[in-house]
Structure 1
Amino acid sequence: MQWTDEAIILGIRRHGETSVVAEVMTRARGRHLGLVRGGRSRALQPVLQPGNAVEVTWRARLDEHLGEFRMEPVELRAARLMETATAVYGVQAMAALLRLLPERDPHPHLYTSLSVILDHLHDPKDAGELFVRFEIAVLEDLGFGLDLARCAATGAREDLAFISPKSGRAVSRTAGLPYADRMFALPPFLALEGRAADRQSLEDALRMTGYFLHRHVYEPRGIEISAARNGFVQAAMKALGAARTMPEASSTGEKPIDILLP
């Protein structure tokens, strides 16, 4: 069996003395693993860096086999991605999110989003907003999508101001005001088309997505949220002048976690 596709390197691990097992996100076939013979050579090491775009050809006798990769470089971003902390942590954090999805399960929109975000990780403001949208897209694909288009109580589409921590649905200002202390603030850039994110709205958004990832994905699986996400958020907030020490998380689910990171 054989196929060729566009791919982005997510990571590698050593295999024997000279080879590696590469993990990539492909456009048409989702996250995929494959053996790269000679992957530790001087010629291939610069290519097999996280964030690089490649054309990959996979070969195996049977579909369920690990198979072998042959790779040709398309865009080598790795050197640029090492220039800022948001980029270094961002690549790792997005790879960790993609590992929550089943291997070989197609998610072409996530491939496209990943490619776009990798080109904007140097700017903390752009990186933060795009990263939040990426987390929301992953939650959607995992079956825990948020409904931010209309009020859960009234059905209204205007003046949406809160997000319910129980349902993940938007709530209008009028309906939600009596319960405001028990809900998340809806970041304006997620509610209004064309509205740019600012420091406070990014903080609110990252707190909200962190909570839903913790509640629906990490806690049920008995795993911790990735350290790379913590690093990304702290780097982004520091770059925007909002670095601070976060309190410990509560996992009761009764109120929103009052931090950016579970």
Structure 2
Amino acid sequence: MNIDTPAIVCALRTHAEHGAVVRLMTPKDGLQAAYVRGARGRRMRPVLVPGNLVQARLRSRTEEQLAHAEVELEHSRAPLITEPLPAAAIDWVTALTAAALPEGQPYPRLYDALDALLALIEAAPSALGWSSLLVRYELLLLAELGFGLDLETCAVTGSNDGLVAVSPGSGRAVSAAEAEPYAGKLLILPRFVREGGPASWEDIRDGLVLSGHFLSRDILTGRVSGLGEARSRLVGRILRAGGI
């Protein structure tokens, strides 16, 4: 392996006395794990903060060998550590990315979406400015891993008009007329999920419930089930920020 690439720091696990295994999300090579010598030292600790954008040089003699990496800071989001809600959001999306994705598989759409989400978390004055993109990132991750929702047409009629709900079982959209008899049993489909555009706090709540249901069912299982608690805490903070 010989990779020189921009990357987003997603996770860090201490290894040996001074080093750490770092998981980096890259544009062309997906999630990459590498050993960074001196990662716990004074110089490298501020560089290897989840959410930071870095330039990484990864080297290994064989594909099976853990790569060694040299990492240089390109853009730091470490100042957001002191802001509880943005910090929690960054911790969640980077941890989700590191835990859910297989290593070495390219996901360029996810890299671009993660980069855009982190930039918006950093720039937006409140969670209302980035929470809709968080929902869309979670849904994109589900889709990229083969668990995408079918939100194009109604599961019953095949029409693409008036889609307002999603079946929690099939993940397919349902139109207003067909959803009415099942009120309370279907998940709400906020308009911004299909069409983009602005979202209210109520839309954000419904979007987080929608993506959270399928994340819990299809991704946050087994060894990563504990991540669900971190997401629940983040969702609670987002909704309290919106007065919900």
Q: Would the TM-score normalized by the shorter structure come out above 0.5?
A: yes
Q: Deviation digits for residues 1-50 of structure 1, max 9, x if unmatched?
A: 31111101112122222222111111111111111112222221111111
Greater share of residues in helix: 2
The equivalent of 2:171 in structure 1 is 168
The runs of 5 or more residues in structure 2 that have no matched partner are: none
The runs of 5 or more residues in structure 1 that have no matched partner are: 243-262
**Alignment partner for residue 218 of structure 2, among 213, 216, 219?**
216
| TM-score normalised by the chain length of structure 2 | 0.92
Give 1:219 deviation, angstroms: 4.2
CA–CA distance in structure 2, aligned partners of residues 18 and 104 of structure 1: 25
Alignment: residue pair count: 240
The equivalent of 1:100 in structure 2 is 100
Give 1:222 deviation, angstroms: 7.8
Deviates more, 1:30-39 or 1:225-234: 225-234
CA–CA distance in structure 1, aligned partners of residues 151 and 224 of structure 2: 28
The equivalent of 2:188 in structure 1 is 185
The equivalent of 1:159 in structure 2 is 162
User: What SS is found at the alignment partner of 2:12?
Assistant: strand
Question: In the superposition, relative to structure 1, how do residues 221 and 155 fare at CA in structure 2: closer, same or farther (>3 Å)?
Answer: farther
RMSD in angstroms over aligned alpha carbons? 1.7
Deviates more, 1:48-57 or 1:82-91: 82-91
The equivalent of 1:57 in structure 2 is 57
CA–CA distance in structure 1, aligned partners of residues 167 and 145 of structure 2: 19
Question: In the superposition, relative to structure 1, how do residues 44 and 112 fare at CA in structure 2: closer, same or farther (>3 Å)?
Answer: same
| TM-score normalised by the chain length of structure 1 | 0.86
User: What SS is found at the alignment partner of 1:121?
Assistant: helix
Give 1:221 deviation, angstroms: 6.5
Question: In the superposition, relative to structure 1, how do residues 125 and 73 fare at CA in structure 2: closer, same or farther (>3 Å)?
Answer: same
User: What SS is found at the alignment partner of 2:106?
Assistant: coil
The equivalent of 1:73 in structure 2 is 73
The letter of the residue matching 2:203 is: S
- Percent identity between the aligned chains? 36
CA–CA distance in structure 2, aligned partners of residues 177 and 134 of structure 1: 29
The equivalent of 2:147 in structure 1 is 144
User: Counterparts of 1:113-128 in structure 2 under 5 Å?
Assistant: 113-122=113-122, 123-128=126-131
User: What SS is found at the alignment partner of 2:220?
Assistant: helix
The equivalent of 2:237 in structure 1 is 235
CA–CA distance in structure 2, aligned partners of residues 72 and 127 of structure 1: 27
CA–CA distance in structure 1, aligned partners of residues 158 and 222 of structure 2: 31
